[in-house]
Amino acid sequence: MRSIASCFCLSKAKQTPGLEEHAVLASETAFKINEIEALHIMFEQLSSSIVDDGRIHKEEFLLALFDCSSKKNLLAERLFNLFDLKANGVIEFGEFVRTLSIFHPDAPKADKIAFTFKLYDPRQTGYIEREELKTMVLATLSESELSISDEDVEAIIDKTLQEADLNGDGKIDPEEWKELVAKYPSLIKNMTLPYLRDITLAFPSFVMETKVADSDLVC
């Protein structure tokens, strides 16, 4: 990821305000500068859907992701919290791009694994414990509009812990999660959004032109 994006460093030439951040984001993520400019348009649309203040509030995030702004959705709230890197209740543009980059097809697999581990560790203990696993399994089933018996839910959790908890301490640590994903790659299937590779197709004007000239980029 960095080997491609690391060339997007601004020279000392005078730049239009705001473009430096785009260049920094390009150097730190899987996106190119013109793709980040396209993402900025998307961000502006999302961040002004309810409160027009240049930041994405939880209600706006829920509305965009799950077509609801007030309905309680644990999965959506966990995703919002993971995008909200500063934990200040809103998603700023840099947070939006950096987190969305994890879903890029070219993002490192390790980043995707780490993200899903955090998703299943809402208490941020560094482990996925049984109750956390159960909570997220139920949230996923609810979002998928699937209904299964309590016995079947417990069976899913028992089987997952049996396979993942290699040291038998009753919880899943990051290394054990990594081993489980290696065995069942579908666990991170939703962590890749193919359209992010062609994000500029949604904003054609960015394909052939960008506000940052090639002469302002140094490798």
Quote the CA–CA distance of 177 and 2 in Å, as a whole number. 25
Residue 117 and residue 156 in one domain: yes
Number of domains in the chain: 2
Q: Is residue 202 part of a domain?
A: no
Note whether residue 198 is domain-resident. no
Closest CA to 47 of 96, 87, 88, 82: 96
Q: What is the pLDDT of residues 115-145, one digit of tens each?
A: 999 999 999 999 999 999 999 888 888 877 7
**What pLDDT digit, counting tens, does each position of 163-174 carry?**
999 999 999 999
Same domain assignment for residues 85 and 116: no
- Residue ending a domain, among 103, 131, 166, is 103
Do 99 and 115 reside in the same domain of the chain?
A: no
Distances (CA, A) of 20 to 13, 24, 167, 210: 11, 6, 47, 13
Give the domain CATH number at 141.
1.10.238.10
pLDDT for the residue 167: 96
The answer as to whether 165 is a domain residue is: yes
Whether residue 137 is contained in a domain is answered as yes
Give 210's pLDDT tier (boundaries 50, 70, 90).
Answer: very low
Of the candidates 103, 125, 151, which is a domain's last residue?
103
Res. 63 pLDDT band, cuts 50 70 90: confident
Rounded to whole angstroms, the Cα distance separating 208 from 200 reads: 10
Residues 86 and 121 in one domain: no
Distance CA 130, CA 121 (A): 10
**Residue 5 maps to a domain:** no
Per the domain annotation, does 161 fall within a domain?
yes
Banded pLDDT at 14 (limits 50, 70, 90): very low
Is residue 218 domain-resident? no
Same domain, 94 and 112: no
Going by pLDDT thresholds of 50, 70 and 90, the confidence category of residue 36 is very high
> Does 118 share its domain with 67?
no
User: Does position 209 have pLDDT exceeding 80, yes or no?
Assistant: no
Residue 8 or 218, more confident: 218
Distance CA 109, CA 102 (A): 9
Residue 160 in any domain: the answer is: yes
Mean pLDDT computed over every residue of the chain? 82
Query: Where is pLDDT greater, at 95 or 208?
Result: 95
Same domain, 128 and 85: no
Query: 197: Cβ–Cβ under 8 A, 6 or more apart, which residues?
Result: 104, 105, 106
The larger pLDDT score, comparing residue 67 to residue 59, is at 59
Q: Domain range spanning residue 112?
A: 108-191
**Section 212-219 average pLDDT:** 40
User: Given pLDDT bands bounded at 50, 70 and 90, which one contains residue 199?
Assistant: confident
